[in-house]
Amino acid sequence: MTSCGRSPFSPLRLLVALGLATGLLCDFGPSASAETREIPVSHDDVLLSFAGPVKKAQPAVVNVYASRTERQPRNVLLDDPVFRRFFGDGNGRRPGGPTAQSLGSGVLVDPSGLVVTNFHVIEGMTDVKVALTDKREFEATIVLRDQRTDLAVLRLKGGDGAFPSMEVGDSDTLQVGDLVLAIGNPFGVGQTVTQGIVSALARTQVGISDYGFFIQTDAAINPGNSGGALIDMKARLVGINSAIFSQTGSSIGIGFAIPVNMVKVVVAAAKSGGHQVHRPWLGASLQGVSREIADSLGLDRPSGALIVEVASQSPAAEAGLKRGDLITRIDGQTLEDPESFGYRLATRPLGGKAQLTVLRNGKPIDATLNLSAAPEQPPRDPVKLNGHSPLTGLSVVNLSPAVTEEFSIQGAFEGVVINDIDENSPAANVNFQRGDVIIAVNGAKITSTHQLEKAMSEQHYYWKVTVGRGHDILTTVLGG
């Protein structure tokens, strides 16, 4: 599966709508004389007020407060209980030490207390609290983090198990021009509602997450709105507000929301007890169609996902797909580019089948794709590198189709994949990145995690490390 290309919005900053400031939450409830209003069902009702859908949806939108205490450099004196009593807890933390904080929004999608928010709201955080509109506050556990979609699922602790929850809609039914409302906590001022329309659908070249397929809206979204609800006029959740496009950090009427049909997949994984989302695997590399390619294929415009390479024993191979095929539809839905195909495939349930329309040699053909997860072969066999080498602090796993999908690895590499990097380790100072593929060390190919572990246990004056990143192969020489 191809990842998002470079954003065409590069002259400006694409700002993730994440507020880091804290604010006073103000909630002035309705007065005793407030009128009871119904959900608007006609044009005249819409002109009157949005109070109906807001009243129905608002209780399910929450504020999310996430934090972590930063670790301090360890002092060996803290091993002495007398020093530990006065200077710290012995785990590298100091009372009253610096903390990292994040403020965002979330949506209750199940009465049991499941909350959907953005991954970037809780990224790297350890302590999460959630505040409801009725001013109740709950601690929350992080059930699932899905960086690829920029989504996370939390579960509230305590409560009566009958939390307000929002009805989930169908983002595929949205049309450009539909009225929508954004509900969240911008700038930490308290829950706020803004109104707008769907400005565009299927925005792909945005560069926010691996699955670049967003609802664009002009409803004002500002820092702190991340994870908040985008609802339709029937108070149904149609998207999770994720980012804004701005030069100043404030809304200029270009906001992006993750379609709720992708949210459903992540929530279903969390409900089933999973800590990771498993999605259908194509087993082929795709690229976009340029004007030149479109002309050569006899197309009236550039569209579709062009197959560049097909992996053996993959669903794509089983479906009879070949290099040079152009995928134009999936289950009857037109595809504009590889990103739209990636989104459509990712929202299909495992175990079923998808019908593809493919253009081959100028003629359309049908293909049936089995919706199965990428295999974990070879097994990950994780290894953490220790010792005195420049790679100390890396955690690596074997490369498999499942790992390739999880890390959105581009290119046909052989090697092992960097899964994690310890802070303040020698490896953290070498500019390695999570998802890099270590291909060779000192000219010797690396084919397994234990082979790399053995290679790094040897003594050398220098280390020549070859790494695959994106479509590039990089080589660096490090001191021993």
Same fold, 13-25+166-271 and 54-156: yes
Lowest mean pLDDT among 15-24, 132-141, 444-453: 15-24
Cα separation, 4 vs 211, in Å, equals 7
Distance of CA 396 to the CA centre of its chain: 22
Task: Give the pair of three-digit tokens for residue 168.
Answer: 């989930």
Summarize pLDDT for 298-344 with one digit per residue, the tens. Answer: 888 999 999 998 988 899 999 999 999 999 999 999 999 998 899 99
Domain ranges in the chain are: 13-25+166-271, 54-156, 284-370, 383-479
Q: What is the pLDDT of residue 38?
A: 64
226 is catalytic: yes
Q: First CA to last CA across the chain, in angstroms?
A: 37
Q: What is the pLDDT of residue 437?
A: 94
| Mean pLDDT of the 353-370 span | 95
- Exactly one of 102, 105, 110, 150 is catalytic; name it: 150
366 is catalytic: no
- How far is the CA of 370 from the CAs of 279, 314, 367, in angstroms? 12, 9, 10
Residue 158 DSSP SS3? coil
Please tell me whether 49 is known to bind a ligand: no
Q: How many CB atoms lie within 10 A of CB 143?
A: 18
Q: What is the pLDDT of residue 46?
A: 62
| Mean pLDDT of the 400-411 span | 83
Please tell me whether 88 is known to bind a ligand: no
| Mean pLDDT of the 404-429 span | 85
Please tell me whether 411 is known to bind a ligand: no
φ/ψ region of 387 (left if φ > 0, alpha if ψ in -120 to 50, else beta) reads: left
Summarize pLDDT for 255-302 with one digit per residue, the tens. Answer: 899 999 999 999 999 998 888 888 999 999 899 999 999 998 888 899
- Exactly one of 120, 285, 314, 325 is catalytic; name it: 120
Q: What is the pLDDT of residue 148?
A: 87
388 is catalytic: no
Cα separation, 157 vs 160, in Å, equals 10
- How far is the CA of 288 from the CAs of 8, 305, 332, 339, in angstroms? 15, 6, 19, 9
CATH superfamily, domain at 284-370: PDZ domain (2.30.42.10)
Lowest mean pLDDT among 86-100, 234-248, 385-399: 86-100
> What is 54-156's CATH topology?
Thrombin, subunit H (2.40.10)
- Give the 3-state secondary structure percentages of the chain, helix then strand then coil, rounded to 5: 20, 35, 50
Q: What is the pLDDT of residue 147?
A: 87
Answer whether CATH 3.30.9.10 is correct for domain 383-479: no
CATH of 13-25+166-271, picked from 3.30.230.10, 2.40.40.20, 3.40.50.720, 2.40.10.10, is 2.40.10.10
Please tell me whether 150 is known to bind a ligand: yes
Confidence of residue 461 (pLDDT cuts 50, 70, 90): confident
Cα separation, 70 vs 396, in Å, equals 25
Give me the chain's average pLDDT, please.
Answer: 82
* Local structure of residue 11 (DSSP, 8 states): T
Please tell me whether 226 is known to bind a ligand: yes
Summarize pLDDT for 65-99 with one digit per residue, the tens. Answer: 988 766 555 544 445 554 444 444 444 444 445 56
234 and 169 in contact (C-beta within 8 Å)?
Answer: yes
Residue 278 DSSP SS3? coil
- Exactly one of 226, 242, 246, 340 is catalytic; name it: 226
462 vs 205, which has greater pLDDT?
462
Which ranges of 220-274 does DSSP label H, i.e. alpha helix? 260-271
